[in-house]
Structure formats: structure tokens, C-alpha cells
């Protein structure tokens, strides 16, 4: 085993850094599930999650990872044989569509090249062609963590409205929430899917749905089998109904602490920080790309995510070796190319609990590894990141 001193720099796009405060909040004995303070604490999380989603509608908390919230979104509003429209954004739109299929839904996949945001015109075209309204939901991934492409939710809402189509809008914002604006009510979203371990600074293990009135009504008629995921079972007067059984006590203490931190920093400031740090990463990558061996996966600058950056590596060079060198030599963990990009890309995660020195450390380490691994790159990426953060960009 290699001995590594100092801290691990965790730049995988989930899980992300957990603040010491959040870790400490979990260092306690279990509590009586009927303890009044505990129940009040747990219930307070629902209201504060509504603020994060910018909604007055219901929020549900599951002891699950993101896949659980995906499944919850589908089984609550759909029935066997229903058609769902899934615009391709990368490996996550694909995985969600595979789950939909496995649940007995018909998937209409809007193919794309993984390098651009969802084209709202293509979505509108498919919806217009569906004059019988067989499509019951559009499944959109806000930021696809494999490709690091971020799509516009208002643009897809408008596509639905312009087509006069009644399908629900389901949005996976697992890798976008709290890194870019997200306005559930204002943008007319029907179901939002999120998880604890990306922008929200908690351990993996909690998953969330925010649900519109329209989606709640659909859930009354939907016939896919469901029990644990069923929103309707979570409205009971008894406390345990909110969690369909034992509450995930320690996860909820972590959630409470993380929500306090979100409140203290402020959502707008958090989003501005992500914009600033992502800007620094992009400035560095821009410089590295000058020698032609590396390139941004997302071609349009305004579609690049604030949470993760996917960098393509020319096939003459070894993306896996680069990532492994970063890990073994510098204790910096990067994301691997995922899905179709396996072995052809690496990803720098920059979401959650991060500040400037952490980002500069990661950027400088990647730049050093590019040199160590003999991957041709423009030098001065770190300097460009410094310039970006100090507002002295040329």
C-alpha cells in the first residue's frame, strides 16, 4: 500500500467533500424515534429542502441513492406501457431510460452527440408528432455528469408549452442542484430528482423528489407497482409515515447540518462560488487544449456545467494512466470517462464543499500530471486559473 500524506483532494463528480461540520453532526448515538426534538429536526428538513428546490410543493426524502429517486419519480406518475420521451445528454440520460424500460415503459429516445445541450426544437418536434398524447412524461437530465453538459430547463418547458403537450416534465438535477439556478415552481417542473452526495455536501444515502400538484394528481391514477416509493404513503399523521419506516437518523442529522450551511452561505452565493470555481477550471482547460491532445467535451461554452468538466483525451494518449498518476502521485481523485467515454476522457469534479485553494491545488496537480504522462498541453493553465480568480484575465 502506498503511504500518502496530506489530504485527499476529492474531485470525483460524486461523492463529494463532506464538511467536518456535517461529519460531526453524525457522530452521536442513535435516538428514540419518538423523541420530540428529533422529530422536529427531521420535519424541519422538508421545509428547508423546499427552499433549495424553490418550491412550495411537496418534497419527499428517501433513504436511497440517486437511482432510488429516479425510480420514485417514474413509478409514482406512470403506468405500464406509457411512453416517455428521453432527450439524450450522455450516460445518465441513457441509464434513466434503461430503468424506465425495465419498469415496463416505452422509451422514445431523442438521440444526440453527447457534446451539446438538449435541442428544444427536437423535443418540440417529437411532442408535436405525438398527436395522441401517448408520451406521458419528458425525462430530462439537467447536468449529465458523464458529459458535463447542462441543458436549459426553461427551454424544455417552453418546448412542451409551444407544442401544447400535456406530458409531465421530470428533471434529474442530481448533479446540478445548488451549483446553478433551479426554480421548480417558476420553471413549471413536475418532478425533480436529487440526491445528497453531489452539490449538497452530504454522504451518499439520501434521495429527494420535489413534486408538483399536477404530478400528485397523476400519481392517483398511475398503476406501476410501488410501495416504499409511493408518495401517497408518506402523508400520514404518524411520523414514521414520512420515511415509510425507520427514519435514516444519522443521514438526517447530516442533512440538517448541510441545510444550515446552505442557509448561512445563501443559495445565490453558493451558485456564484460554483460559477467562479468552474470558471477557473475552464480557464485552465482552455490553455491545456491548445496543443490539440485535449479538448472540452462540451463544445458550446455556455452549455458547460458548473459542477464537473469532462475533458477528452486524444486516443494516442492514455486517459486512465493520467488519472491513476494523479491519484497515486498527488492523492487527487478525478472522475474517469464514463459510458461511451470510458478510457477516452477524464473529469474534474468541482461541486459541493470547495474553495479556491482546493481548486487551484487540483488544477496544478492535473497540469503536473499532464507533464509527467507526456500528454501534450498548453502550459500556463494554472496561471490562467489564477488570472480567472483574480479577475486579471486577458
The residue whose Cβ lies closest to ligand PLP is: 66
In the complex with ligand PLP, which residue's Cβ is closer, 140 or 252? 140
In the complex with ligand PLP, which residue's Cβ is closer, 149 or 360? 149
Residue 173 CB, shortest distance to ligand PLP, in Å, is: 8
Residue 255 CB, shortest distance to ligand PLP, in Å, is: 15
Measured in degrees and rounded to the nearest 5, phi and psi for residue 156 equal -75, -35
In the complex with ligand PLP, which residue's Cβ is closer, 74 or 364? 74
Give the binding range for ligand PLP (CB under 6 A) out of 25-33, 62-70, 269-277, 358-366: 62-70
Residue 145 CB, shortest distance to ligand PLP, in Å, is: 3
Is 67 one of the binding residues for ligand PLP (CB under 6 A)? yes
DSSP 145: T
Give the binding range for ligand PLP (CB under 6 A) out of 39-47, 71-79, 140-148, 219-227: 140-148
Angle at 188 between CA 183 and CA 191, to 5 degrees: 85
Is 367 one of the binding residues for ligand PLP (CB under 6 A)? no
Give the binding range for ligand PLP (CB under 6 A) out of 54-62, 71-79, 137-145, 309-317: 137-145
Closest CA to 204 of 93, 48, 64: 64
Residues 154-213 that bind ligand PLP (CB under 6 A): 172, 174-175, 195, 198, 204
Is 141 one of the binding residues for ligand PLP (CB under 6 A)? yes
Which of 16, 17, 145, 388 binds ligand PLP (CB under 6 A)? It is 145
In the complex with ligand PLP, which residue's Cβ is closer, 127 or 140? 140
Mapped onto helix, strand or coil, the DSSP state of residue 312 is strand
Number of residues that bind ligand PLP (CB under 6 A): 14
Give the binding range for ligand PLP (CB under 6 A) out of 65-73, 245-253, 275-283, 346-354: 65-73
Q: Tell me how far the alpha carbon of residue 261 is from its chain's centroid.
A: 19
C-alpha cell of residue 132: 395522441
In the complex with ligand PLP, which residue's Cβ is closer, 39 or 336? 336
Mapped onto helix, strand or coil, the DSSP state of residue 86 is strand
Give the H or E element holding residue 309.
strand 308-313
Give the binding range for ligand PLP (CB under 6 A) out of 37-45, 59-67, 122-130, 368-376: 59-67
Pinpoint the alpha helices (H) of the chain. 20-26, 36-53, 66-77, 91-102, 120-129, 153-162, 213-221, 249-265, 267-288, 319-330, 356-372, 381-390
In the complex with ligand PLP, which residue's Cβ is closer, 88 or 172? 172
Contact by Cβ (8 Å): 389, 280: yes
CA dist 179 and 152 (Å) reads 14
Which of 9, 10, 14, 255 binds ligand PLP (CB under 6 A)? It is 14
Measured in degrees and rounded to the nearest 5, phi and psi for residue 352 equal 95, -140
Is 65 one of the binding residues for ligand PLP (CB under 6 A)? yes
Residue 315 CB, shortest distance to ligand PLP, in Å, is: 26
310's torsion region: left (phi>0), alpha (psi -120 to 50) or beta? beta
Number of residues in the chain: 394
**Residue appearing with cell numbers 411537496:** 58
229's torsion region: left (phi>0), alpha (psi -120 to 50) or beta? alpha
Q: Interface with ligand PLP by CB under 6 A: which residues?
A: 14, 65-67, 92, 141, 144-145, 172, 174-175, 195, 198, 204
Amino acid at each position: 500500500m502506498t503511504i500518502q500524506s496530506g489530504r485527499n483532494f476529492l474531485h470525483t463528480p460524486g461523492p463529494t467533500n463532506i464538511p467536518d461540520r456535517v461529519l460531526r453532526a453524525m457522530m452521536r448515538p442513535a435516538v428514540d424515534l419518538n423523541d420530540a426534538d428529533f422529530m422536529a429536526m427531521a420535519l424541519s428538513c422538508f421545509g428547508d429542502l423546499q427552499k433549495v428546490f424553490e418550491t412550495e410543493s411537496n418534497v419527499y426524502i428517501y433513504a436511497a441513492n440517486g437511482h432510488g429517486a429516479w425510480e420514485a419519480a417514474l413509478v409514482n406518475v406512470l403506468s405500464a406501457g406509457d411512453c416517455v420521451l428521453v432527450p439524450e445528454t450522455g450516460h445518465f440520460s441513457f441509464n434513466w431510460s434503461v430503468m424506465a424500460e425495465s419498469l415496463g415503459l416505452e422509451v422514445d429516445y431523442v438521440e444526440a452527440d453527447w457534446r451539446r445541450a438538449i435541442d428544444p426544437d427536437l423535443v418540440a418536434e417529437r411532442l408535436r408528432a405525438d398527436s395522441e398524447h401517448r408520451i406521458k412524461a419528458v425525462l430530462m437530465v439537467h447536468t449529465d455528469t458523464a458529459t458535463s453538459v447542462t441543458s436549459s430547463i426553461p427551454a424544455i418547458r417552453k418546448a412542451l408549452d409551444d407544442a401544447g403537450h400535456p406530458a409531465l416534465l421530470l428533471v434529474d438535477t442530481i448533479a446540478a442542484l445548488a451549483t446553478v439556478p433551479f426554480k421548480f415552481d417558476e420553471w413549471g417542473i413536475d418532478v425533480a430528482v436529487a440526491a445528497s452526495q453531489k452539490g449538497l455536501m452530504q454522504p451518499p444515502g439520501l434521495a429527494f423528489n420535489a413534486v408538483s400538484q399536477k404530478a400528485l394528481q397523476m400519481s392517483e391514477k398511475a398503476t406501476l407497482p410501488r410501495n416504499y416509493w409511493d408518495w401517497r404513503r408518506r402523508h400520514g399523521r404518524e411520523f414514521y409515515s414520512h420515511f415509510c419506516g425507520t427514519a435514516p437518523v444519522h443521514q438526517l442529522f447530516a442533512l440538517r447540518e448541510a441545510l444550515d450551511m446552505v442557509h448561512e452561505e445563501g443559495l445565490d452565493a453558493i451558485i456564484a462560488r460554483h460559477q467562479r470555481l468552474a470558471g477557473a477550471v475552464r480557464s485552465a482547460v482552455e490553455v491545456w487544449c491548445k496543443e490539440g491532445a485535449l479538448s472540452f467535451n462540451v463544445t458550446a461554452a455556455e452549455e458547460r456545467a458548473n459542477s464537473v468538466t469532462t475533458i477528452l483525451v486524444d486516443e494516442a494518449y492514455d486517459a486512465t494512466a493520467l488519472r491513476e498518476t494523479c491519484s497515486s502521485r498527488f492523492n487527487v481523485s478525478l472522475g474517469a470517462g464514463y459510458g461511451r467515454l470510458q478510457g477516452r476522457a477524464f473529469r474534474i469534479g468541482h461541486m459541493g464543499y470547495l474553495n479556491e485553494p482546493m481548486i487551484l491545488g487540483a488544477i496544478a496537480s492535473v497540469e503536473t500530471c499532464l507533464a509527467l504522462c507526456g500528454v501534450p498541453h498548453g502550459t500556463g493553465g494554472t496561471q490562467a486559473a489564477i488570472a480567472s480568480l483574480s479577475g486579471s484575465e486577458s
